[in-house]
DNA sequence: TTTGCGATGTAAGTTGAGGTTACATATTGG
DNA sequence: CCAATATGTAACCTCAACTTACATCGCAAA
């Protein structure tokens, strides 16, 4: 790392503020300095780098592509630092814990038990975001996420909390009690597909190549899929761990089971976790250990 | 963005240099300041944040977890800025263009045509890195990458350059000329698996669940897979686009073809691209357009 | 066209953050 | 126990980054 290549931070800050506000005067106000300071800083930066950063021809607020790129990168870099430092100093203690989970995990596991966490930590507030895709986990944003997979998320820590294969299930009312040779034999039935979540979608999208002669396919959110399968409306693909009650009671049969033993992981950034998030982390770990471990 | 929450940059720089070198004296030397300056900056930062960043109990170079986290984030943030600014000022004009591609694309498409690029731009130097995993594309590192997928890489631009499905292929000498109902019917043959690259590995890892009763499976790099398949050593999984010659000449038969129409994408960061990289970008686009588009 | 106003550029002077030097105070290995 | 080496602290210094003041520009209303 060549520190001497770094432009002065004050100048970058001025540029970022200018990009953000669209005017020197406003940028000055934002940073609690005069407009002249902004003007001088930006000019100094342009001199130093030997290229123009703001586009003086157009109406106000114009940046050249280079200026825009530099402002973006700067803003991003500074924001990361600001968020982390807010976390470390505890200035964000009251900010809600933010967790993203797959819809299935949220409805099948988390929601039923949330009251227990609330009771244990009444002072903490929590935001649960059940979305298919994993968004970025970073200081100031998501604290952690629950994802289905093999535990390999580059740059992130991942603790296995619930081991579970993927199972192909159906109501006995639909498929009877006989055996099937391969998933291909099930093409005579209607299929239920989960809307793009990590548990089943890849599995299905691959089998889809084989099953595309099927009798049709309904896509619906994960929490409704099991209900539909129980009602005999089709063949469903679901995480094994959350259908045991249905199997025990005979409402669902497991027709095939993936041999790969993936599972639900608690995913988070390496390093220090803020206290409120750590409380949730410990609670999820102990609850799942008590239940599955 | 709350600018007032930002710690002073000089203090962060001092901390990062300390983390990097493991000593105040060395950090001072690195930044061309005295050791006392480092000491004062770090102490000031600790005061301001209200927590200790360096671990004075242990042997030298010790950072607390908080200090470590802050130093990491700072280093990353500064490095991004430094790299971008080097690009913008053209100070890295002579640095080689760095491209990462999948092994298959590198051996089947890029390598045979590289001489053409060298001839057109003799002054540019190029580093091709054929690796399965997509590493981070950022200023100062990778300029662009060629990946197989559906074109959805969050935060990155991706231009489709070669459309291609995934095909299951084999030599007629091995499987004869008859038809097969489903991939499951091929379990009687030996399979050739590509070593964890994006083209075929996910496809295969899913079918693996069905095919795990197979007669065995050989894993080998992508460029050798086709040779082995031609020689009748097993069933192979490969990108459709690069086996046309083999199909035409009768060396390989296509047994199944994925219905999903993914392809090879040229992946890069949004924003300005440095001139040398832009030259390669344009060359790849025009070559692939002439050939496939 | 003139007038007025808001934004930006430039010059000159001021100030405190960030440096220095100097010295005191650990810590370590021979 | 004594160099030798690293870190903490104090007192002072200096210039980068600011301010204020004024010139300039573009534009819209009179």
Instruction: Tell me how far apart the alpha carbons of residues B203 and A66 are, in angstroms, rounded to a whole number.
Output: 41
Distance A201 CA to D13 C1' (A): 67
Which pLDDT belongs to residue B216? Answer: 65
Residue A272: per-residue pLDDT: 82
Give contacts of B 269-288 with A, CB under 8 A.
271-272
Section A123-150 average pLDDT: 86
SS3 per residue for chain B: CCHHHCCCHHHHHHHHHHHHHCCHHHHHHHCCCCHHHHHHHHHHHHHHHCCCCECCCCCCCCECHHHHHHHHHHHHHHHHHHHHHHHHCCCCCCCCEEEEECHHHHHHHHHHHHHHHHHHCCCCCEEEEECCCCCCECCCCECEEEEEECCCCCCCEEEEEEECCEEEEECHHHHCCCCCCCHHHHHHCCEEEECCCCCCHHHHHHHHHHHCCCCCEEEECHHHHHHHHHCCCCEEEEEHHHCHHHHHCCCCEEEEECCCCCEEEEEECCCCCCHHHHHHHHHHHHHHHHHHC
pLDDT band for position B205 (50/70/90)?
low
Share of chain A above pLDDT 90, in %: 39
Q: Give the strand pairing for B253-257 and B166-170.
A: antiparallel
Task: Report CA A157 to chain centroid distance, whole Å.
Answer: 14
Mean pLDDT of A58-68: 75
Q: Order of strands, edge to edge, in the sheet holding B235-239?
A: B217-220, B191-194, B235-239, B166-170, B253-257
Residue B209 binned pLDDT confidence (cut-offs 50, 70, 90):
very low
CB of B61 closer than 8 Å to CB of A79: no
pLDDT tens-digit series, residues A86-124: 998 888 888 899 999 988 888 888 988 999 999 999 999
- Note the pLDDT of residue B213: 46
pLDDT mean over B193-210: 58
Q: Are A252 and A230 in contact (CB under 8 A)?
A: yes
Distance from CA of A31 to the nearest CA of B (A): 7
B83 CA from C12 C1′ (Å) = 36
Q: Do residue A271 and residue B72 have CB atoms under 8 angstroms apart?
A: yes
- Cα(A5)–Cα(B89) distance, rounded to whole angstroms? 10
Which residues in chain A touch residue B78, judged by CB atoms under 8 angstroms apart?
Answer: 1, 3, 6, 77
Asked if B73 has any chain A CB less than 8 Å from its own CB, the reply is yes
Which chain A residue's Cα is nearest to B64? A272
| Cβ separation A65–B256 shorter than 8 A | no
Residues of chain B with C-beta less than 8 angstroms from the C-beta of A78:
1, 3, 6, 77
Share of chain A above pLDDT 70, in %: 88
Arithmetic mean of pLDDT over chain A: 85
Which of A66-80, A203-217, B20-34, B94-108 shows the lowest mean pLDDT across its residues? A203-217
Contacts of A212 in chain B (CB under 8 A): 259
Tell me, what's the pLDDT at A215? 61
Task: Say which residues have a Cβ less than 8 Å from residue B31's Cβ, sequence separation at least 6.
Answer: A3, B13, B14, B17, B37, B38
Asked if B84 is an interface residue toward chain A (Cβ–Cβ < 8 A), one would say yes
- pLDDT score recorded for residue B149: 83
Rounded to the nearest integer, the mean pLDDT of chain B is 84
B window 225-244, beta carbon within 8 A of A: none
For residue range A143-175, list pLDDT tens digits in order.
999 998 888 887 889 999 999 888 889 999 988
* Nearest-neighbour CA in chain A from B128: distance (Å): 22
What residue ranges define each of the domains in chain A, with the CATH number in brackets? Answer: 3-88 (1.10.10.10), 97-163+263-292 (3.40.190.10), 166-257 (3.40.190.10)
pLDDT higher than 90, residue B106: no
Q: Which residue of B has its CA nearest to A77?
A: B77
What pLDDT, on a 0 to 100 scale, did the predictor assign at position B14? 93
Higher pLDDT, B136 or B209: B136
Query: Closest partner residue to B5 among A74, A82, A209, by Cβ?
Result: A82
B255, B169 Cβ separation under 8 angstroms: yes
Distance CA B86, CA B100 (A): 21
């Amino acid at each position: 790392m060549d520190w001497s290549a770094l432009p002065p931070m004050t100048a970058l800050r001025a540029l970022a503020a200018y990009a953000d506000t669209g005017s020197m005067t406003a940028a000055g106000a934002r940073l609690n300095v005069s407009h002249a300071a902004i003007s001088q800083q930006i000019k100094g930066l342009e001199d130093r780098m030997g290229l123009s950063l703001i586009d003086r021809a157009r109406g106000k607020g114009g940046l050249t592509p280079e200026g825009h790129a530099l402002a973006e990168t700067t803003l991003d870099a500074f924001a990361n630092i600001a968020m982390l430092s807010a976390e470390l100093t505890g200035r964000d203690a009251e900010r809600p814990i933010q967790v993203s989970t797959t819809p299935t995990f949220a409805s099948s596991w988390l929601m039923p038990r949330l009251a227990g966490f609330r009771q244990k930590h009444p002072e903490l507030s929590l935001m649960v975001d059940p979305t298919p895709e994993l968004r970025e986990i970073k200081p100031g944003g998501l604290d952690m996420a629950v994802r289905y997979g093999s535990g390999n998320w580059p740059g992130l820590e991942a603790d296995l909390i619930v081991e579970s294969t993927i199972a192909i299930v159906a109501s006995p009312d639909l498929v009877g009690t006989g055996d099937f040779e391969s998933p291909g034999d099930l093409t005579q039935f209607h299929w239920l597909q989960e809307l793009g979540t990590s548990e089943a979608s890849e599995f299905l999208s691959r089998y889809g190549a084989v099953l595309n002669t099927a009798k049709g396919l309904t896509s619906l959110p994960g929490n409704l899929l099991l209900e539909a399968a129980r009602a005999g409306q089709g063949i469903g693909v679901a995480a094994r761990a959350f259908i045991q009650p249905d199997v025990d009671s005979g409402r669902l049969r497991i027709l095939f089971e993936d041999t790969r033993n993936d599972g639900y992981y608690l995913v988070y950034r390496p390093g220090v976790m803020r206290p409120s998030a750590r409380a949730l982390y410990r609670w999820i770990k102990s609850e799942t250990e008590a239940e599955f471990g």
